[in-house]
Structure 1
Amino acid sequence: MKKILTATALLLSGTALAHAEGVLQLYNWGNYTSPALLEKFKAETGITVTVTDYDSNDAALAKVEAGGSGFDLVVPSANYVPIWVEKGLIVPLDASKLANKGNIAPEWQDVPWDKGRAYTIPWQWGSTGVAVNTKVYGGDINTSAVFLDVPPELVGKINVVPEMNDVVNLAIWYVGGEPCTEDTEVLKKARDVLLAAKPNWLSMDYGATEKLSNNDWAASVNWNGSTMRARTANPDVKYGYPKEGYPLFMDSVALLADAQNVEEAYKFLDFIMVPENAAMISDFARYANGIAGSDAFMPEDMKTAPEVMTPEEFKASGHFLPTCSPKAQEYMTAIWTELQK
């Protein structure tokens, strides 16, 4: 997931773009698409890919649901895929047009959110935890207390990415609950801990890769790949896996029901399942991908990176977020709305 807005986003009008041979419109998380990958794709196919950025699952869903977006492909997170399917916004994929579908790693071929990979192709996967400048704070970083019970050293120096599902569920785990709970007592505890912590935060913003690198922030709720990129620039930055529980995510590419450039989209979907190309995606954003054989092409520093290769002691605390019931989603939205005030 994951996800920092960049200036590369193309601003599109609200009307649907007409089909134009040799072009493709990709709607993806910000700072998440390898320019080198797109250059290679164009060199091999003649197709130019235009990327438009979004900063949250909810923003992407609302934009496409409003109609006339002009996009062909979108990259929702695992727990949102069933929502896109239910709303009829994405369509089943024609496997006969995807010669490389067998390259999907066995563990990602049949996933709870998309049985048999009927609708999506893996893009990248990772986790949401906390990134901390250990020169500023030397205590335990493998806990959500870093942002929910802020240590004195980090007061006024910590950022929280404005991603509702990640932040609220981290708080729910912290108070002993489970994601998508409808238990109002647990939800009240999560709300209270978030509201009590917020005065100790510096900001709720994106841009952690740069701002952790530059020491503008001493800590942030953040994604693992972004944190690795920050650590590469600033060795004092370390990634913490909250022991109370932390989200895992997989973002996958889906074909929109109103896509105009369908054949071009299928060529791109097949292209990203080539192991060498999947490794290019990971090399840029620093997240693992779901394509078997891509490890052989991965940069050496990713093969041992603690942000990518989760230490054994923290694996049990990571969980994929389920798709919440409408009531649970309503409760989370209410907490989030109050937190934004």
Structure 2
Amino acid sequence: MRQPIAALAMLLATTSLAMAEGELQLFNWGNYTSPELLAKFEAETGIKVTVTDYDSNDTALAKIEAGGHGFDLVVPSANYVPIWVEKGLVTELDLSKIPNHKNIAAEWMNVDYDPGRKYSIPWQWGTTGMAVNQSVYSGDINTSAIFLDPPPELVGKVNVTPEMNDVLALATMYMGGQPCSEDAELMKKVRDKLLEAKPKWQSMDYGMTEKMAANDVMASLYWNGAIFRARLENPDVKYGYPKEGFILWMDQVMLLKDAQNVEEAYKFLDFIAVPENAAMISAFARYANGIAGSDAFMPADMKDAPEIVIPAELKDKGVFMSTCTGKAQEYITAIWTELQK
């Protein structure tokens, strides 16, 4: 027997709504989300996650500010978190819906950029340093000279990731300052050094996991986990921590103010704060995470990997990337604009 039209229409509407409630839109860095994690989440919750990639913090911010994006969750770096909050693009979390919030490691809980983790759940953290193919260059790799004063063997073979704040931070430390400097004379020297170095670079690009593994690029300013993955494919690839100073960073997941799938988003935020699940994220992208107890589930080769374990003599050279403001941000933006010409 056919159903009455009104009843059929109601059934279709209910089915459509149920499907919508079983979806989640994640806006994340490219090649950064574990397919196994997503499969497990869908199996346990029935919620299908669609991941859309971006390549930089600025790209993500511009996309969300433009509106009409349809995303529920975004994964900005720590120094951008205050910007997202101040612009009203994200919402304060209802922690009663994230009971696994308690698993966030103590050192990652009361962070300056999000005290008490009211707006974010940790995703992964790592460093920005130098990757070098030692079949081409066997000298010191623990230095930003690799990209700012390239040795002859690497001239024309160096990539610089186009992430403005990372590049300017390492260049500033190389020139004797600290990130977010408001010293006009120092920042002029930083600008001059970058403009002098640029003709010696091969590219300003992403995708170094694949390109360094394939010997398409011989050195790069890049992120440790991505280079860890490249080294697993190509043993000649090594990761260095610049002795002049390198960056420590953390990415975290935030709930967008205009998210459509809010309850699904909360389920995902709670899910990734489970130690075993956080370890799945790390096992894929090869970065550490901020969830206590996840180490027990990590791949054995991450426990002593040189891309994860910072050498003792260089630990004090790591600087956590903060949010630059005022004159410091003006200098950074102006230098970056000139560098892009």
Q: TM-score normalised to the size of structure 1?
A: 0.93
State the 1:182 CA deviation: 1.6
1:282 aligns with 2:273: no
Q: Secondary structure at the match of 1:100?
A: helix
Query: For 1:285-318, what per-residue CA distance to the aligned partner results, in whole angstroms no more than 9, with x for missing partners?
Result: 0000000110010001111101012121111111
AA in 2 matched with 1:310: I
The equivalent residue for 1:7 is none
The CA distance in 2 between the partners of 1:169 and 1:250, in whole Å, is 15
Q: Please identify the structure whose Cα radius of gyration is greater.
A: 2
1:267 aligns with 2:267: yes
AA in 2 matched with 1:171: A
AA in 1 matched with 2:51: V
Aligned residues: 323
The equivalent residue for 1:14 is none
The CA distance in 2 between the partners of 1:322 and 1:292, in whole Å, is 23
The equivalent residue for 2:310 is 310
Q: Secondary structure at the match of 1:68?
A: coil
Query: For 1:30-50, what per-residue CA distance to the aligned partner results, in whole angstroms no more than 9, with x for missing partners?
Result: 110001100000000000000
Query: For 1:62-89, what per-residue CA distance to the aligned partner results, in whole angstroms no more than 9, with x for missing partners?
Result: 1111112111000010011001111111
State the 1:20 CA deviation: 1.6
Q: Secondary structure at the match of 2:203?
A: coil
- Runs of 4+ in structure 1 deviating by more than 6 angstroms, as ranges, are none
The equivalent residue for 2:176 is 176
The CA distance in 2 between the partners of 1:20 and 1:186, in whole Å, is 53
1:188 aligns with 2:178: no
State the 1:330 CA deviation: 2.0
State the 1:169 CA deviation: 1.0
AA in 2 matched with 1:157: K
The CA distance in 1 between the partners of 2:225 and 2:46, in whole Å, is 30
The alignment-based identity, stated in percent, is 73
State the 1:109 CA deviation: 1.1
Q: Secondary structure at the match of 2:142?
A: coil
The equivalent residue for 2:40 is 40
Which residues of 2 match residues 35-184 of structure 1 at below 5 A? 35-184=35-184
AA in 2 matched with 1:129: G
The equivalent residue for 2:257 is 257
AA in 1 matched with 2:195: L
AA in 1 matched with 2:221: V
The CA distance in 1 between the partners of 2:75 and 2:314, in whole Å, is 27
Q: TM-score normalised to the size of structure 2?
A: 0.93
Q: Secondary structure at the match of 1:252?
A: strand
The equivalent residue for 1:242 is 242
The CA distance in 2 between the partners of 1:63 and 1:182, in whole Å, is 29
Q: Secondary structure at the match of 2:99?
A: coil
Which residues of 2 match residues 225-236 of structure 1 at below 5 A? 225-236=225-236
AA in 2 matched with 1:124: Q
The CA distance in 1 between the partners of 2:23 and 2:200, in whole Å, is 47
The CA distance in 1 between the partners of 2:92 and 2:80, in whole Å, is 15
The CA distance in 1 between the partners of 2:328 and 2:67, in whole Å, is 26
1:293 aligns with 2:293: yes
Q: Let me know the Cα RMSD of the aligned residues.
A: 0.9
The CA distance in 1 between the partners of 2:74 and 2:314, in whole Å, is 31
Q: Secondary structure at the match of 1:27?
A: strand
The CA distance in 2 between the partners of 1:43 and 1:231, in whole Å, is 32
Query: For 1:172-191, what per-residue CA distance to the aligned partner results, in whole angstroms no more than 9, with x for missing partners?
Result: 11111111112111111101
AA in 2 matched with 1:205: D
AA in 1 matched with 2:302: M
The CA distance in 1 between the partners of 2:46 and 2:267, in whole Å, is 11
The CA distance in 2 between the partners of 1:85 and 1:145, in whole Å, is 36
The CA distance in 2 between the partners of 1:82 and 1:132, in whole Å, is 33
State the 1:321 CA deviation: 1.4
Gaps of 5+ in 2: 1-18
The CA distance in 2 between the partners of 1:207 and 1:325, in whole Å, is 29
The equivalent residue for 1:13 is none
The CA distance in 2 between the partners of 1:271 and 1:174, in whole Å, is 40
The equivalent residue for 2:201 is 201
Gaps of 5+ in 1: 1-18
State the 1:326 CA deviation: 3.5
The equivalent residue for 1:338 is 338
The CA distance in 2 between the partners of 1:173 and 1:139, in whole Å, is 21
The CA distance in 2 between the partners of 1:42 and 1:322, in whole Å, is 35
State the 1:327 CA deviation: 2.8
AA in 1 matched with 2:61: L
The CA distance in 1 between the partners of 2:159 and 2:323, in whole Å, is 26
AA in 1 matched with 2:193: V
